[in-house]
Chain A
Amino acid sequence: DIQMTQSPSSLSASVGDSVTITCQASQDITNYLNWYQQKPGKAPKLLIYDASSLETGVPSRFSGSGFGTAFTFTISSLQPEDIATYYCQQYDNLFTFGGGTKVEIK
């Protein structure tokens, strides 16, 4: 099984700040890595696929990078509507999600 380790588990930042979340895979998954946003009481929403591709309609302040086992997700300028929990997910071998990062406004 492929394990996904996501950090931090929570963070607090000010509006306009840059926010970065990291995700580590237990083995090489090339670029088969997605990022999701989940707001309370809602289904997850796909933001980034294939590690760095922006899903249609997603604001450009969201971005992703990485390859192999180490990945990064960035919000370049945090907005109030970005308050949510973010998950990484590998799909190289079945599906595994990271533990999530809860993003709050300071």
Chain B
Amino acid sequence: EIVLTQSPATLSLSPGERATLSCRASQSVSSSLAWYQQKPGQPPRLLIYDASNRATGIPARFSGSGSGTDFTLTISSLEPEDFAVYYCQQRSNWPPGFTFGPGTKVEIK
């Protein structure tokens, strides 16, 4: 089973600052990694797939990078609506299923 870890658990930043979030996999997932944003009371929203491709409608300030076991989600300049929790996710072929990282909360400093 592939385990995803995320760091930091909490990131305290001001609007306009750059946010850098990390996701590490316990074994290689190639580039098959997704990132989600979740705001209170809402389901997660797909941001990034294939580690670096923005999903439909996602602003260009969101970018992803990495492959293998180390991945990064970068928000170039935080907007007020970006303060939320971010999860990484991968799918395993065996046993078949999905795992999520524990999440990084981006909060207003």
User: Are chains A and B native binding partners rather than an unrelated pairing?
Assistant: no
A residues whose Cβ falls under 8 Å from a Cβ of B:
none
B residues whose Cβ falls under 8 Å from a Cβ of A:
none
